[in-house]
Amino acid sequence: MKYRGKLTFLTTIVLTMIIGFSVLYEPEPRVVLYREPQYSISTPWLTYRVDTTHSGVAPLDCRVDEGLVLEWRTRRLNRAEYSASKSSPAVDHDNLYLGLDTGALVAVNRLTGRIIWSHYTRFSKNGIHGSPTVDSERGQVYIGAYDGWLYAVDRLSGDLVWESNLGDFIGSSPTLFNDTLYIGVEMRGPDGYIVGVDAESGREVFRSESLGNHPHSTPTVDPYSGCVFIGENDGYLHCYWLLNQSERWRFKTGGAIKSTVAVNGGVVYVTSWSGSLNAVNISSGISIWTHIGGYRSMSSPTITPDGSMIYYGDHGGNFYAVNSSTGERIWIYQTGERIMSSPTLVNCTGTAIIGSHDGYVYLLDSATGNIKQKLGLNSGLTSVPVTVDDHLYVFDHLGYLYSFIRD
């Protein structure tokens, strides 16, 4: 009995030690090096004007509306010595990415406004005016610069992945479609091309015929027609087949095209310095209608998801809403200075957002044009307002980056 009692006692001690050891040394959960930020983005904004069609419509889960307050603002980042429109941010789950006219591509923490890394391109007088594209699959960020090179850098570190010399200047932004980056390239002369580059290697895989003048706008890809569109300074809108790289048609607007076209429902919409907004049939290249605003425009058009309305601004400070079927004006809102910015539509809250050279960002009712809120900046806004979830990000002409959030 004594022996059995001792055995039972020892067994109890051993079991207690084993259980205690197991609890004490229970394996910890797997360490995750990548942490989601405090406010997780449902749908990021990865490229200029949201998508390859450049519709200008915010992600469906965006909730930006009136009642915005300043969350943070960076120090001044641009020289602002060149009057062209400045870079617009791209946003992923961690950072905002934008190009500076100093020639740097920077990543900015979207919660704090702190610069995470900077990647400097080759020296050029005008630096970077195009907007970056984020490739979440490869973990890369792409940007073109006025040195004529297209760059791919690592999203997390800013280290160079590859670079490709495509021409003399690049003021355009890259559009990523089916693993190919399409971008407008400028040559001395003046001349230019649409160039396609393999996103993995940086190897050139597409080059259009000569455009005849500088393309300052960004290529727009329409997956349904299999075409890519770009405008240039002679006032021609060019439509190219993606498959065989041949020109399908060209359309004369009557003034230099500085804006980026938008496509919806078999129609391409383009503004120009002729003072007009043109709707052009994609199949034929023939004009459907023309809306005359009366002032030069380099504001890219924004189209509602149902294709019923179009928004754009002009150098007269006018912000228009136009019927997409007829080209008739629905409403007009007058800002205090010229509009070089392009509008963003937050469809779920019925909010159209536009920046003006008067130093304000305007939030308007998209149906009526009534003002909801206006936000003051340190200088005019020439880039595109970017909205994700309940955040509005704007990068003004002098180079202050702002984060506004709903109160």
pLDDT at position 40, please?
Answer: 56
Q: What is the pLDDT of residues 377-403, one digit of tens each?
A: 999 999 999 999 999 999 999 999 999
Report the distance separating Cα 344 and Cα 271, nearest Å.
Answer: 16
What's the CA gap between 379 and 285, in Å, rounded?
39
Report domain extents, the chain: 46-61+81-333
- Cβ atoms < 10 Å from Cβ of 292: 11
Convert 134-148 to b/e letters by CB count within 10 Å (16 or more is b).
bbeebebbbbbbbbb
Q: What is the predicted pLDDT for the residue at 41?
A: 65
User: What whole-number distance in Å separates Cα of residue 292 and Cα of residue 369?
Assistant: 19
CA distances for 45 relative to 54, 96, 155, 341, angstroms: 12, 9, 14, 17
Contacts of 289 (CB under 8 A, 6+ apart): 278, 279, 326, 327
- Rounded distance, CA 319 to CA 374, Å? 14
pTM score:
0.89
- State the Cα–Cα distance between residues 299 and 383, nearest whole angstrom: 10
In this prediction, the residues of the chain whose per-residue pLDDT falls under 70 are 1-41
pLDDT tens column, 343-389: 999 999 999 999 999 999 999 999 999 999 999 999 999 999 999 99
CATH class for the region spanning 46-61+81-333 = mainly beta
Give the span between the Cα atoms of 401 and 360, in whole angstroms: 14
CA angle 126, 99, 181 (to 5 degrees): 100
Question: What pLDDT is attached to residue 161?
Answer: 99
The reported pLDDT for the residue numbered 19 is: 39
Q: How far apart are CA 230 and CA 218, in angstroms?
A: 6
pLDDT in tens, 209-247: 999 999 999 999 999 999 999 999 999 999 999 999 999
Report pLDDT for 82. Answer: 76
Instruction: Give the pLDDT of residue 42.
Output: 77
User: What is the rounded distance in angstroms from the CA atom of residue 233 to the CA atom of residue 237?
Assistant: 10
Residue 225: the pLDDT is 97
Residue type, 396: D
